[in-house]
Amino acid sequence: MLTGRGLKKRMPLEHSSLTPFEPQLMMLLELAFGGGLRSLEAAGFKLGDDLIDLRAREHYRNGLHRSFAQAQNEIGQIVLELERKRRDLERRLRVLRKARNPLDTAVEAELAAVTNRLMVLRRLIDAILYIALPHDTLERLAIARRVHNPEPKELEAMLTVADRLNRLNPRELYLVCDLTSAVQLGDILRIRWDESGVYLALVELKKRGLINDALGDRLNRNAGKLSEKDLSDIASELGQHAVEQAERMARQKERFEEFTSRAESNWAQRSNDPEITRLAQVKPPGMATYLHLLPKVIADAKAHDVAFHCIDDCL
């Protein structure tokens, strides 16, 4: 049985009504994280060549991005199915509990397994982010205090757009923010890499049309804040769904402003958190590297029939 931190305590991931999860998870892991190696081998390279050969590195990074995109498509479809099931089970559970029906324990067990699976799949997308982004960048992005359940119709639309965008450029990766637990900033996060580094951009979809524009104008007039009167006016003018969308947009605006603030060079000095201030003053230790010596080491090894292995980037 799979268990882990962040999952509901003593709650399983398996249930008789659900497809076995462990084989599904193993397939996703291989699909997501084996793309770099598969791309190297298809181009005639082997693992380790990407450390010393720019062409091999290009194949490796692009292969990773392709496999991340393919894995997102698979994970997204599973999440859509599970999220619809989760909502249905929650409705059924409320009815059963109201009627004091003893069947509520069976529904509760199924709901727990579904909820746990959704958490594991989010962590899988988080793992993709951890590899695709510099660690300090991911820390700055991970500012959401609460992870919201995705709305299936909106998630399906975002997955369709991300899939189309991911086919355009192998150096670009588009990840749907609602599939992550770490980055709850907008609709889609674009990650682009080149020889100089990694670049980020947030992609907001214009799928909500005039309602989105009206809500955005109201948020801008109120400096991103919504009072109870604002929410009441939105409900009467645009409907209750618009209230939920306005609250979501306000959260995204707040998180993006916080991210922008953190990205400023003097953010740590302005922070009221003494631990952050202390860490900002700590200088990282120097790090020796022998990457520039690797080509000669490999050439000497081949010349003298000496074998070596690279494990965790160490000889």
pLDDT in tens, the chain (315 residues): 444 444 444 568 999 999 999 999 999 999 999 998 899 999 999 888 888 888 998 899 889 899 999 999 999 999 999 999 999 999 999 888 888 888 778 889 999 999 999 999 999 999 998 888 876 676 666 656 677 888 898 899 889 989 988 998 888 999 998 998 877 777 888 888 877 777 888 777 655 554 566 666 667 777 667 778 777 777 776 666 677 777 777 777 776 666 666 655 565 566 666 665 665 566 656 666 667 777 787 787 778 777 655 555 555
- Which among 221, 192, 179 is positioned nearest to 133, based on CA atoms? 192
Q: How many residues does the chain have?
A: 315
| Global pTM value | 0.65
Residue by residue, DSSP assigns 122-151 as HHHHHHHHHHHS-HHHHHHH---SSPPPPP
Beta bridge partners of 189: 175, 202
Separation of alpha carbons 180 and 118, rounded Å: 10
Separation of alpha carbons 178 and 180, rounded Å: 5
**CA distances (Å), origin 283, targets 173, 197, 262, 271, 286:** 32, 22, 18, 18, 9
